[in-house]
Structure 1
Amino acid sequence: MHTRSRRPTADLPDLAPGVTLVDVDDDLGVTPVQALLLDRVLSRDGPAFWVDGANSANTTRLRELAPADRVLDRIEVARGFTAHQHTALLDRLAGRLADRESPSVVVATGLDGMYRAADVDGELAERMFVRAIASVARVARVHDVPVIVTRCREDDLSRPLCRSATTHLQCRETAFGPRFEDAAGDTETLVYHIEDGWMQTTLAYWREVLEHRARMHEGATVEGTSATPGIQ
Structure 2
Amino acid sequence: MPTPHNSAVSGQIAKTVLMPGDPLRAKMIAETFLENVVQFNDVRNMFGYTGTYKGHPISVMGSGMGMPSIGIYSFELYTQYGVESIIRIGSAGAYTDQVKLYDVVLADSAYSESSFASTAFGYPEDVQYPDPELTHRLEEAAFKLNIPITKGRIHSSDVFYRGTGSTTFQEIYRDHACVAVEMESFALFANARYLNKKAACLVTISDSLVTHEATSAEERQLSFTKMMEIALEMAL
- TM-score, shorter chain, exceeding 0.5: no
What TM-score comes out, normalization by structure 2 length?
0.33
Q: Name which one, 1 or 2, has greater alpha-carbon Rg.
A: 1
Higher strand share: 2
Q: Which has the bigger relative contact order, CA under 8 A and spacing at least 6? A: 1
- TM-score, structure 1 length as denominator? 0.33
